[in-house]
Structure 1
Amino acid sequence: MSNPEPASPNLLPRDEYVEQAHLYGLLRQRGQESMPIQELLDELRHEILITTKLPMAMDYLLTEVKHSGLLAPAMYKLRHYFTDFQTYLIRESEADTGRFMMSTALQILEADAKYRLDSVTPEGMFFFQFEALCRNRLSYDRGLAAMSNDPLYNDEWTKWILNLRAQVGLVDFADLIFLASEEYKRRMIEAGQSIEDKGPFLFGDKEGRIAFANRRKDPLFLFSAVQRHLGYPKVPRPIPADETSEIIPQLLRRVERVEARLKILDDERRGGMDITRFYEKNKDKPNFKLPELPE
């Protein structure tokens, strides 16, 4: 792998990411209790370290969410603190489609913040963010645009990620990684070919070899192999909906209908069925008869 670049001066201090990860984890855990987001923010702001800027950001989020009910617009206004990718995930979770859940977005953001604490690299962060888009079937165009503004990436990374929007889906993803790796550069030099118009070579030898070994395969195999070797956090997978809560009531209703049919069959076997009991509720109603017509 290529040597990690020094941390960008635009990255937040380490304490900020520690508290962000703590906040996202608390929001995800307590959000399972179906509490409104404004109540959660109001309650949790007292649990965040006041020596960081996160409590001030939470106060602004709380003010905005009380007016609009949404977090993403307020996060976008705080772009100097929240990354565009964080805002994009929250915006997708707040969309009316309901396909991408808030709990999944918070789980990704928690892993993202923890990864930035110590050993984060541009290569690992790219794979983590891109895999999050793939696994949750989010928009590549909007997602990659949000990724490109991450302060972790330098100008070369930003330009390459933006160009990737026009190539994803048309060119095999493993080929795209291989062509931007030091492994491809090494092979070109050994073959005596010019690399003047090639690159940029953003990924290391290891990533290039892994990508070459996974060409024409499911990209999930590539993500799994790179995750093992780069050590970036595992991307949370969407949790399938629990259908047991709907299946059990349906089974109970079917059992009731079967029992009613068996009761009717049992009454017939014993000598007939008294259908008057089905009209018991109408026994007190007056019996109106039509007048007889003259002959």
Structure 2
Amino acid sequence: MSVSEPLQSPLAREEYVEQTHFFTVLAERMTENIPAQEVLAAVREEVLATTKMPMAIDFLLAELRHQGEFAAGMRKLSHYFTPFQCYVMSEAENVRKRFDLRIGLLVLAREAMYRGSEHATRQGLFVYQFETLCRNRLGYDDGLEAMSRDPSYDATWSEWLLTVRRQVGLVEFADLIYVRSEFYRVQAEREERAGTSQTPIVLFGLQEGRIAWANRRKEPLLLFSALHRHLDYPAVPRPEPANPEERLLPVLARRVEQLEARLRLVEEEQRGGIDLSKFYAANQPKMP
């Protein structure tokens, strides 16, 4: 297979369009404190009936009512949701982790959007999924294992992902891409090293290899940023910085209520005194 060959996704493009809408709406309406059951019922009416998304929503709604989570239902729909999607959702629903559920839903929405695009590649999908693990501090061991079972990757890619699983933390991420790139093979042939040792199977193109080589001994986030700029790979959604005004609003509301109460007392005193009887308990027992 050519390195630049488009991504072969297991589902039709319209399915990923509806998945994108599904995850995006869930993330948006979470901020409005709408119950998930109501959101699922509303989204079910919005998605196309010609896709499998309505049936998936019905199943997820039933699982949500019985178990209270999405990940369990998504795992049972392994023909529709990938192992990586299930892993991201399970990590987002894990109360012991600091992975925001809204960010997890946006991660899945952007991944589905990329899968449905005409320019999607295995290289771009891998970089996006690995960046998701890196930026959100998810487990590399379970995450890469889930990625290796993604049907969009062939046997060569799956085997390499398990190799990355063993080497992550020991070998730089830039080196992992560089050694498996066309750029490395060209350099090896130029330096006449191709005949002395077996060149690894090429998984990345010239541009990915050149960018990885230029970002060796640097932070992996700089490599992700360079791949976004030069190859238009999708960027992982990140939490927005907290707005200090949102924290001040409840405090200001309480202060305003206190000031209003004080003003009412001052007005009553000016009209002839404060009626203290309204502060008495209604059922206070009488003294003998």
| TM-score scaled by length of structure 2 | 0.82
Q: Quote the Cα distance in structure 1 between the aligned partners of 2:51 and 2:254.
A: 55
1:123 to partner: Cα distance: 0.5
Structure 2 counterparts to residues 195-234 of structure 1, below 5 A: 197-234=198-235
Match of 1:158 in 2: 158
Structure 2 counterparts to residues 70-219 of structure 1, below 5 A: 70-117=69-116, 118-194=118-194, 197-219=198-220
Change (3 A) 1:213 1:74: same
Identity rate, percent: 50
Moved over 2 A (4+): 2-8, 194-198, 238-254
Specify the code of the residue in structure 2 equivalent to 1:112.
E
Specify the code of the residue in structure 2 equivalent to 1:101.
D
Q: Quote the Cα distance in structure 2 between the aligned partners of 1:61 and 1:86.
A: 14
Superposed CA deviations along residues 183-211 of structure 1, whole A, max 9, x for unmatched, are 11111112112365331210011111100
1:229 to partner: Cα distance: 1.9
Task: Specify every segment of 5 or more residues in structure 2 that has no aligned partner in the other structure, as ranges.
Answer: 256-279, 281-288
1:25 to partner: Cα distance: 1.4
Residues matched between the structures, number: 253
Q: Quote the Cα distance in structure 1 between the aligned partners of 2:18 and 2:211.
A: 34
Q: Quote the Cα distance in structure 1 between the aligned partners of 2:253 and 2:34.
A: 31
| TM-score scaled by length of structure 1 | 0.80
1:160 to partner: Cα distance: 0.5
Change (3 A) 1:113 1:29: same
Q: Quote the Cα distance in structure 2 between the aligned partners of 1:5 and 1:125.
A: 13
RMSD: 2.2
Change (3 A) 1:247 1:186: same
1:106 to partner: Cα distance: 1.2
Larger radius of gyration: 1
Change (3 A) 1:232 1:251: same
Match of 2:18 in 1: 19
Q: Quote the Cα distance in structure 2 between the aligned partners of 1:70 and 1:22.
A: 19
Q: Quote the Cα distance in structure 2 between the aligned partners of 1:16 and 1:249.
A: 42
Checking the alignment, whether the CA contact within 8 Å between 2:7 and 2:115 is kept in structure 1 is no
Match of 1:67 in 2: 66
Change (3 A) 1:228 1:176: same
Checking the alignment, whether the CA contact within 8 Å between 2:20 and 2:109 is kept in structure 1 is yes
Question: 3-state DSSP class of the match of 1:45?
Answer: helix
- Does 2:42 align with 1:46? no
Superposed CA deviations along residues 231-267 of structure 1, whole A, max 9, x for unmatched, are 122211133445554456679999xxxxxxxxxxxxx
Checking the alignment, whether the CA contact within 8 Å between 2:10 and 2:151 is kept in structure 1 is yes
Q: Quote the Cα distance in structure 2 between the aligned partners of 1:241 and 1:87.
A: 28
Checking the alignment, whether the CA contact within 8 Å between 1:135 and 1:238 is kept in structure 2 is no
Q: Quote the Cα distance in structure 1 between the aligned partners of 2:218 and 2:115.
A: 30
Match of 2:258 in 1: none
1:88 to partner: Cα distance: 0.8
Q: Quote the Cα distance in structure 1 between the aligned partners of 2:148 and 2:29.
A: 32
Q: Quote the Cα distance in structure 2 between the aligned partners of 1:185 and 1:73.
A: 43
Checking the alignment, whether the CA contact within 8 Å between 2:107 and 2:236 is kept in structure 1 is yes
Match of 1:4 in 2: 4
Q: Quote the Cα distance in structure 2 between the aligned partners of 1:7 and 1:179.
A: 22
